[in-house]
Structure 1
């Protein structure tokens, strides 16, 4: 089994966000002998002129930073407007999921629908062989030519979770030059500086790129409006009110504004969000423990599993692994945890691993609490 890139030079379209990772990835692809063209995706219909510290991306400043990096690398550069597609497939999906009481991950949706669908389709139509990004993950090629997605060499930077939505066709045209890097982020920045890339000291983008101020609740309130509802305990007793169930996530502790303390004096957490009656249920931490779940819309990085199997699973972009057993039943993924896990929310992605290999991902639909029934 070998790492990509492949031995022959490729025509590569490098997605350049204006950050240091994508700039170094494009530079490495060019240095490897590939024919590289840089492209910055304009994903906002009304981009800000400047970022706010490390928040947000896709600003005019980011576009200029990407162009300057391409000039230093010595590759052609273009800006492609995918704002309408991004709004429809990522932003609107994000709002609709929260409105339905679920907790989505827009980065997975962006990789699935934008970078490795809309962008990749356009790249292939123009004669490119691959799309290159600054993600930390590896694509390995088996002797029979099939490709596998694996964790990055450095687990601390691994981003395979947000790439778990990629299928065989997309993997066949994906290039991740940073995936085999056993270096710290400081060393990546040092490499960028050696290459003369001005983005070497630019802060990383955090949070949700289209919510530059980091105020997700405020963003949703502007889109969905305020809708007062009840906060109740597990018995149904009313403890307080809220201005929109969409403003809460499973496992949330802060910002509940409950005036009545728990009988045992311990903190309460969000256990359930019901958009039907606009009710948020809270309770003790132990009630967050989940023993099993059902996930829908599975996407496989290769062949679908044949029968029940034992895997490790990751439930959050920066979360750890947990051991599970999983099998497909009528197109749904049924997962049982070896040990209960806490704070699993419908709408999140579960990504299955076999060692370092990404088996696939699915969207969590329902959970089974370790102390009760389905949540």
Structure 2
């Protein structure tokens, strides 16, 4: 077993560490590494939503079989393990805002909200109440001390990079958090799990958002907000009506299939106008975006971003599956205006935009925010 150092003061045997265990291979290996390093290890699993309907689902987390798997791993490691019912808090902080955001025409990223409000706020407070010196998760990111505080960096495994989902973590939270998997690749983590003999060594990774069965967001929203969907028009960029829709929550920016309209050329959802109950469609090139605004900024870099009045060069990432690209960011009155060097396709309000200091495997996360309004090349030319 590899030895890890969480860089905590005092003897390891006297340092209590809480490990968030989802029941998957990543958090299980993280717990095993912490325990093998000699820290007093406590595993905690959160029940985040009604797991009755999800107990037989594969590719989910935080419910049913996953809780059982986390218990088995903790027992095999010989560490204490607790299951905490965070269902009501998860609904309040993640699911309800997710539904409201979708109904307003946005494309939210609930994993960011979950990390920000439940895992790295509520659970972190629980860790402190239990006398823990640190909280560990199985995320693929890295932190290290910079100027007396811990800074957030991309991991060794670029294919597993989860820094996009953690940009909203505060500096104070980063000082308490540790991410031991940031120095490993996913194959190495699975090999460690097999070497240790963990029952989850070959368990498949989570694919869907945990509370969205089969990835159908509209099903969840209809359950939470019955009769909330209003019908409206599907229009082209010139405002011509091409058809009708049964609620904008059934559409996302960049969507091509399932529009229910016929046209001479492929059409994509370009914008969602919730106020007018309209779905605006256009050719693929209309999805190209260079300029947009951000709200709810979170800053993890050095200095004060409010000084960026004339534009600061960064690398910006508008989706978790896309690499960072060169951009200029200007900050005024708490909001950021972002101009990308090259257009990105399908940027949508509600998504996150994350800043890095460079495009490299060890790039530092400078912060980010929520995309509030996008300006496509098509719109810019028409303005």
| Both structures adopt the same fold (TM-score exceeding 0.5) | yes
Q: Distance in 2 between the 1:57 and 1:7 partners?
A: 29
Q: Is the Cα–Cα contact under 8 Å of residues 52 and 213 in structure 1 kept in the other structure?
A: no
Which region of structure 1 is more displaced relative to structure 2, 212-221 or 92-101? Answer: 212-221
State the partner residue of 1:208: 209
Spell out, residue by residue over 1:136-160, the C-alpha distance to the aligned partner (whole angstroms, 9 max, x if none): 0000112x32111000011111111
The answer to whether the aligner puts 1:32 opposite 2:37 as a matched pair is: yes
TM-score, normalization by structure 1? 0.93
Q: Distance in 1 between the 2:55 and 2:99 partners?
A: 24
The answer to whether the aligner puts 1:300 opposite 2:299 as a matched pair is: yes
Selected match of 2:179 from 176, 179, 186 = 176
How far has the Cα of 1:94 moved from its partner? 0.4
Partner SS for 1:153? coil
Question: Once superposed, which parts of structure 1, at least 4 consecutive aligned residues long, lie more than 6 Å away?
Answer: none
How far has the Cα of 1:7 moved from its partner? 4.9
Q: How many aligned residue pairs are there?
A: 365
Partner SS for 1:199? coil
Which region of structure 1 is more displaced relative to structure 2, 285-294 or 214-223? Answer: 214-223
State the partner residue of 2:145: 141
Q: Distance in 2 between the 1:49 and 1:249 partners?
A: 25
Partner SS for 1:316? coil
How far has the Cα of 1:49 moved from its partner? 5.9
Selected match of 1:358 from 343, 352, 365 = 365
Q: Is the Cα–Cα contact under 8 Å of residues 48 and 59 in structure 1 kept in the other structure?
A: no
- What root-mean-square deviation, in Å, do the aligned CA atoms of Structure 1 and Structure 2 show? 1.7
Partner SS for 2:182? coil
Q: Is the Cα–Cα contact under 8 Å of residues 50 and 60 in structure 1 kept in the other structure?
A: yes
Structure that is richer in helix per residue: 2
Q: In structure 1, list runs of 5 or more residues that go unmatched.
A: none
TM-score, normalization by structure 2? 0.91
Q: Is the Cα–Cα contact under 8 Å of residues 137 and 179 in structure 1 kept in the other structure?
A: yes
Q: Is the Cα–Cα contact under 8 Å of residues 47 and 58 in structure 1 kept in the other structure?
A: no
Q: Distance in 2 between the 1:367 and 1:45 partners?
A: 35
Which region of structure 1 is more displaced relative to structure 2, 96-105 or 300-309? Answer: 300-309
How far has the Cα of 1:213 moved from its partner? 2.8
Which region of structure 1 is more displaced relative to structure 2, 227-236 or 16-25? Answer: 227-236
